[in-house]
Structure 1
Amino acid sequence: MIVSVLLVLLFNLFLGVPIFISLLVSSILFFFFLDTEIAFRIIPQQFFSGIDSFSLMAIPLFILAGNLLNESGLTPKLMSLSKVLVGHLKGGTGYVNIISSIFFSGVNGSAVADTSVLGTLLVPAMKKEGYSVGFAASLTAGSSLIGPIIPPSIFMIIYASLTNTPVGDLFLAGITPGLTLGVILFIANWRYAEINELKSFRCKPSLKHVFTAIVQAFPALIAPILIVLSIISGFVTPAESGSIIVLYTLIIGLVLRTLKWSSILKAFIDTAKLTTAIFVVIASSSVLTWLLGFAQVPAAFTSLFIPFFESPTIILFVLSGITFFVGMLMEEVSALILLTPVFIPIATYAGIDPIHLGIVVTMNITIALITPPMGACLYVASAVSKIDLEIMFREIIPFIFYALLILLLVILVPDFVLFIPKELN
Structure 2
Amino acid sequence: MSLNLPGFYYDPERNRYFPISSLPAGAPIPSAKANPQIRSANQFDISESTSSGSKRKRQKTSLDLAPGSKLTLQPTRQQSRRGTMYPARTNPGISFAERTHLAHQMETHAISRTRLRSQEELPLGPGCRLTALAVQDDPDGYQVAGDSRGWLFVRQPSSQRDGQSADHPGHFDEMGVYIGPMRWVCDMGLMTKITAVSLIQDRFFVSSFGPHAKILVGALDASEESDISAFILEPAKAYDMWTAVFEADGRTGSATLGLHKKAMYIQDLDNRMSTRSLNTGSDVMEWEIIVAAVAGDMQSFDMRFMRTEDDKTRPLLEFRGHNNSCMHDLGFAVLPPGDFVVAAGMDRQVRAWSTRTGERVMGTGSGSPDRLLSASPADGDILAICATERNLWLACDRSVSHVEVGSAGKQ
| TM-score of the aligned structures, taking structure 1 as reference length | 0.22
More relative contact order, 1 or 2 (CA 8 Å, 6+ apart): 1
Structure number with bigger Rg: 2
Higher share in strand: 2
Higher share in helix: 1
